Amino acid sequence: MEREYHVCTGCALLCDDIELREEEEENKTTIDSACRKGVAWIKNCQQPLECTVDAKNATPQDAIKRAAEILTNAKNPLIFGMGNSSLKAQEKAIELAKKTNAFIDDTSSFCQGPIVEAILNDTIKSCTLDEVRNKADVIVFWGCDPSNSHPRHLSKYSYFPRGKMRQRGWEEDRTAIVIDVRKSDTAIICEDNFYRIPPKADAEFVGALTEALSGKVPKVTFGMKPKEILELANVLKKAEFGVIFAGLGLVYSMPDLSPMENLLEALNKKTDFHLMPMVGQYNMRGFNHLLFDQTGFINRVSFEGENTDHGPQYSVVEVLKEKRTDAALIIGSDPLSSLPGSIAANLKEIPTIVIDPCKTFTSQIANVTIPAAVTGVECKGEAIRMDGVEIELKQMEKSDKMADADILKKIMEAI
């Protein structure tokens, strides 16, 4: 019998080799190949979201009608989230934002956005995960800990697997380097090549490496000797195919990417080096790509009739902080747990709609909650992997829940 593989949407690695095995005797389904995080995701949330209007149980039709009323009555609603939504749902959300003069933003606004933007604008060279598996001989994990955030990253793509040009695998054919402020689990695996830097010293260290590559003696204000930096620069420049996986530690410490652009430029004069964001939510990049295709921006957009505006003032943080919005539609996200409390608390003052498979802190204060199917588990869809490759997501199990794309379509129709 031909084996059927599914895709795990537990993180933006979108592992495509997941098998479901029915164990008839025990009457259960075993999930093969997924990591512990993926299994937990596929088994679904402990507390499914209920369909409610004003905290009372409601039918999906009534909840959709009320959501449409809220968005119709709002002057400038905020649409936020979508990192865990299918491409089709994201498309619908952008359409809805245009129709309702909304601000639209996603989590990339306060995480990997600058890197995705630089890749889409071609100011940073990136590559695919398959290229990493087949070609990469120098891999740098900078400010990230994939052993915990993307548990199959090292085994499936970056370090351990054999690739077309890396037949001897990690022991002889690949060098993995960790640059971080703490000795993470990934740093323990790459112990011989762990460079500990102080918090907020990323830009300084990037600058020192760039100096080392241009033949100068690199100096830093923390206790790392020039010899150590020169040795690292030497490993990087001798790579045949190198990649830096950039985590939140790097992004938060270095919001201005220009030092990294300079380092990559210096490296690419000598070798072939790439940067890839360690995207968390499985389809954050999908939203960025779709919005970029339509507006030239990846997030923080305001639609006002035919006009499109963009800027930091339209980020979810600023829109809520400055109380610029009079209603919110939150899709597959939990701003009450991810944004500063004083800012997210402003959601309590405006009508809020939540579409999500699971209960969240935000759903508990929402006026309307609509349960959605988990894409890739309870419904099918498409998504864009952390490396920009589009992946088809199959349905794993039957569900009577609506897909988020269908919920948004019905809200649009009711407006």
Question: Rule CB under 6 A: which residues touch ligand SF4?
Answer: 8, 10-11, 13-15, 34-35, 37-38, 150-152
| Residue number with CB closer to ligand SF4 (51 or 144) | 144
| Nearest approach, Cβ of residue 396 and ligand SF4 (Å) | 12
Shortest Å, Cβ 151 to ligand SF4: 5
Which of residues 279 and 329 has its CB atom nearest to ligand SF4 in the complex? 279
Contact 242, 138 (CB under 8 A): yes
Where does 74-201 have alpha helices with state H?
87-99, 113-120, 129-135, 146-149, 153, 169-173, 185-189
Q: How far is the CB of 17 from ligand SF4 (least distance, A)?
A: 9
Shortest reach from residue 152's CB to ligand SF4, in Å: 4
Give residue for tokens 């479901």.
20
Shortest Å, Cβ 112 to ligand SF4: 16
Element (DSSP H or E) covering residue 318:
helix 316-321
**Residue 51 DSSP SS3:** coil
Comparing CB distances to ligand SF4, the nearer of 10 and 81 is 10
Q: 88 vs 150, which CB is nearer to ligand SF4?
A: 150
Helix (H) or strand (E) holding 310: strand 307-310
Q: Position of tokens 């004069």?
A: 269
Considering the complex, state which of residue 14 and residue 51 has its C-beta at the smaller distance from ligand SF4: 14
Q: How far apart are CA 337 and CA 355, in angstroms?
A: 16
Q: How far is Cα 130 from Cα 136, in angstroms, rounded to an integer? A: 10
**Beta bridge pairs of residue 138:** 175, 242
Return the number of the residue (13 or 49) whose C-beta is nearest ligand SF4: 13
Residue 379 C-beta: closest distance to ligand SF4, Å:
17
* Dist. CA 61–CA 169, nearest whole Å: 54
Expressed in angstroms, the distance from the first to the final Cα of the chain is 48
CA separation for the pair 146, 132 (Å, rounded): 15
Which residue's CB is nearer to ligand SF4, number 18 or number 64? 18
Per the structure block, which two tokens stand in for 264? 């990559």
Q: At its nearest, how many Å lie between ligand SF4 and the CB of residue 391?
A: 10
